[in-house]
A and B are shown apart, each in its own frame.
Chain A
Amino acid sequence: MTPPDYEYLRKLLKDQSGLDLSTDKQYLIESRLLPLSRKAGLAGIPELVQKMKAGSASLVAQVVEAMTTNETFFFRDKIPFDHFRQSIMPQILKARAARKSIRIWCAAGSTGQEPYSLAMCLKEMDGQLAGWRVEIIATDLSQEVLEKSKTGLYSQFEVQRGLPIQMLVKYFKQNGEFWQINPDIRAMVHHRQLNLLHDFSQLGTFDVIFCRNVLIYFDQDTKINIFSRLCKIMEPDGFLVLGAAETVVGLTDAFKPYPDKRGLYQPNDSRMARAPAAPFASRIAAAAGM
């Protein structure tokens, strides 16, 4: 990719989406936009840029979407996984000692790095979980990313961001230029296509919900609505994990912050005080008289 092409794409992405790429992200652009170029019948990035400059609005939209969605890596932000190992799991192990089961939902599972990171955490504590039923449900709006997640295949770049090398050696097999996560880890994660705006009560009840870096894309009313529906499908002593830039504070009293653990929340004791909430999409439909 030529430097002027890179600069053009960088500026366009900043203007259109707020995505702020540093000067050394050529590989990221290539890994996202080469497949897109091929789909559009173009030879490569130079041809893609040329066509965008000629004023193809739909191509610009596709480029922005390809570059902005689903940026994720293993053990992203690290801290939530420390919370999971050090705060959440010790309490779950005690509280569910009789039932011996744990259900976890990754509400924006994307290409699988988050659910598989959790699966690896649980695998590391295998001894304590002997005889337990462990279930991780990964959902995402996009069927395409779920398909990638199911394969458990990751590029060399993807396995180097956040994944400790010992875990790569322990839980992955090399497959040409790719690395594939082992079948026993893959089997811990179940995939479902799901839009958070729609009813998700059919997923059942969860002990832990990871809902990170997805609510930031929604407006305030939608966030409030999702929080109250999340609360309904969560055990009273369950845990909600949000992204670094997300909070319930000032939006809902359905959840309260867990003391001194940023991004970690629990359902509020006063569950009765909460107003019932229908899925946002059906509320819109009702309001519109449909």
Chain B
Amino acid sequence: MKTCLVVDDSSVIRKIASRILEDMNFRIIEAEDGAQALEACKREMPDAVLLDWNMPVMDGFEFMTHLRQLPGGDAPKVVFCTTENGIDHISKALHGGANEYIMKPFDKDIVAAKFLEVGLIAAPV
């Protein structure tokens, strides 16, 4: 079973995202900010990270920068999931090592499409 780290300071968003991802057969680890997420990755490297941008303590972009420098930190597929919907943020994320980018609001179809795109789930047959 693949693991997905869900990072968002909103417990509602974490809950919605977790439910969608559990239906897609992921085991979920939750984190409330970038610092917590980084600790979680040091304990256990996930297969995927669903990542908010704006969070207290450490934001999503800074977390990703640290993650990519960890041993094995280039392996997880990082999918941003944020209200930062401008092309400047998207470009910055992609250059910083993100694999995909979801603009909020999102739904199950969008998450599935993006996870399919980066090879985290298989195409429906």
Show the binding face of A for B, using Cβ within 8 Å: 22, 24-25, 27, 73, 78-79, 156-157, 160-162, 164-166, 168-169, 173-174
Contact = CB atoms under 8 A, between A and B. Distances in A.
A73 B85 CA distance: 20
A166 B117 CA distance: 11
Nearest to A25: B107
Given A169-B87, A169-B91, A162 B107 contact: no
A79 B113 contact: no
A101 B114 CA distance: 34
Given A27-B105, A79-B123, A166 B94 contact: yes
Given A78-B116, A156-B85, A161-B113, A168 B90 contact: yes
Contacts of A157: 110
B113 A162 contact: yes
B90 A24 contact: no
A78 B33 CA distance: 34
Given A79-B123, A161-B113, A164-B117, A27 B90 contact: no
A78 B123 contact: yes
Given A24-B107, A169-B94, 16 more contacts: A79-B123, A156-B85, A156-B103, A160-B102, A160-B103, A160-B106, A160-B110, A161-B110, A161-B113, A164-B100, A165-B90, A165-B94, A165-B100, A165-B114, A168-B90, A169-B90
A174 B113 contact: no
Nearest to B16: A24
Contacts of B102: 160
B113 A160 contact: yes
Nearest to B99: A165
A79 B86 CA distance: 30
Interface in B78-120: 85-87, 90-91, 94, 100-103, 105-110, 113-114, 116-117
Contacts of A25: 107
Contacts of B107: 24-25, 27
A22 B110 CA distance: 14
A80 to B, nearest CB: 12
A174 B94 contact: no
Nearest to A23: B108
A78 B112 CA distance: 13
Contacts of A79: 123
A254 to B, nearest CB: 27
A153 to B, nearest CB: 15
B117 A174 contact: no
A38 B117 CA distance: 36
A26 B16 CA distance: 15
B87 A174 contact: yes
Contact of A165 (B101, B108, B109): B101
A24 B107 CA distance: 7
A174 B86 CA distance: 8
B70 to A, nearest CB: 23
A102 to B, nearest CB: 26
A128 B116 CA distance: 28
